[in-house]
Amino acid sequence: MSIPLIIQKLKAVGLKGRGGAEFPTWQKWLWVKQARAKKKFIVCNAAEGDPYSKKDGYLLNHFPEEVIKGIEIALRTIDNSQAFIYLRQDYYQKFRNKLIKLAKNLPIKIVKKRGGYLSGEETTLLNVIEGKEAQPRLRPPYPAQAGLWECPTLINNLETFYFVAKIYENKYKQTRFYTLSGKIKNPGVYQLPLNWTIQKILEQTNNLPKTDFFLQVGGIMGEIILSSETNKPLKGLGVIVVHSFQENPIKLMRGWADFFNHENCDRCTPCREGVFRIEEMIKKGKINFKELEDIFFVLKQTSLCPFGRMVPLPFESLIKKIILRKK
């Protein structure tokens, strides 16, 4: 089988998934394209569960035509396929009608997300669309092998589909969408070059704080970095949150712990119980670093899905770079 032109183009420009995992898009497309099955599915993921990210909403508001175009290209590339646009509740209310209109006769269904943050995770999303409990699935099989109703399924972030349309028209300029927030003057969503450093992004959007600061990059599960570490492009989810040293880092951790404790699926021991204990410790204001280290160890080593494995990163980097450094 020859490789379709669009997949060759995706490979040539090096497009990576914009949901945060940065998996090469062309590879997913090729797997699903080449999978042998009578029926295949495409999912456009606009769950946007990260509390700091706003770019999917921004794209739905300003560029829905391109998003539909991107899905249409996928539908044409992958035989016998059907598509779903998976929208978080507020986007569903706001954009459903507009998307139905734009989709015209294309086999695209608009579905509403159930559940919280985790329902944006790709295997959990499959369960939600199938009407099952919002819980992650064991991998393998991967969605490209057996996704929706056991059929090969291509799942891409909404922004990825937007750029597929651009690449198709040879109008892609190696950019991405960033959501900037926190202690800055001009928060918002910006389309900027991929290779800009975080420092340059803050400068060019006129968001560089006057006093020293630290940042969380890549979303609520992203790493904490110091202002001295901003001379590199952003990895993961396109989210930058700027914090000032006036803020209480414990309060910041408490916010994360609350969020993770509420948003996890409660299925595996380290995540269900470990995250609860992190929250408990922070709430009580008595942080036992030995205990934290143990919990982080099992979260990273033994969690069932990436969620649990990623929980320790923001805490560990904040503790190391900010809390312990202050002392």
Which residues sit at the interface with other proteins, rule CB under 8 A? 133, 138, 261-262, 265-270, 272-274, 276-277, 279, 294-295, 297-298, 301-304
d(CA 164, CA 170): 10
Q: In angstroms, rounded to a whole number, what is the distance separating the alpha carbons of residues 34 and 12?
A: 19
Nearest to other proteins of 173, 283 (CB atom)? 283
Task: Name the one residue in this structure whose structure tokens are 């183009």.
Answer: 9
Task: Give the span between the Cα atoms of 128 and 47, in whole angstroms.
Answer: 11
CB 267 to other proteins: min, Å: 5
Distance of CA 131 to the CA centre of its chain: 22
User: If DSSP codes are grouped into helix, strand and coil, which group holds residue 66?
Assistant: helix
Min dist CB 269 to other proteins, Å, is 5
Smallest distance from other proteins to CB 88, Å: 18
Please compute Rg for the chain using Cα positions: 20
CA distance 97 to 103: 10
Which residues, other chains included, contact 216 with Cβ-Cβ below 8 Å and sequence gap of 6+? 52, 182, 222, 223, 224, 225, 239, 240, 241, 243, 314
Q: Shortest Cβ distance from residue 119 to other proteins (Å)?
A: 13
Between 21 and 194, CB nearer to other proteins: 21
Q: DSSP readout, 101-169?
A: HHHTTSSEEEEE--SSGGGGSHHHHHHHHTTS-S-PPPSSSPTTTS-GGGS-EEEEEHHHHHHHHHHHT
Q: Residue 81: helix, strand or coil by DSSP?
A: strand
Judged by beta carbon, residue 50 or residue 279, the one nearer other proteins is 279
Closest distance of CB 55 from other proteins, Å: 28
Rank residues 78 and 221 by Cβ distance to other proteins and give the closer one: 221
Closest to other proteins by CB, 197 or 301: 301
Q: Which is nearer to other proteins, 66 or 121 (CB)?
A: 121
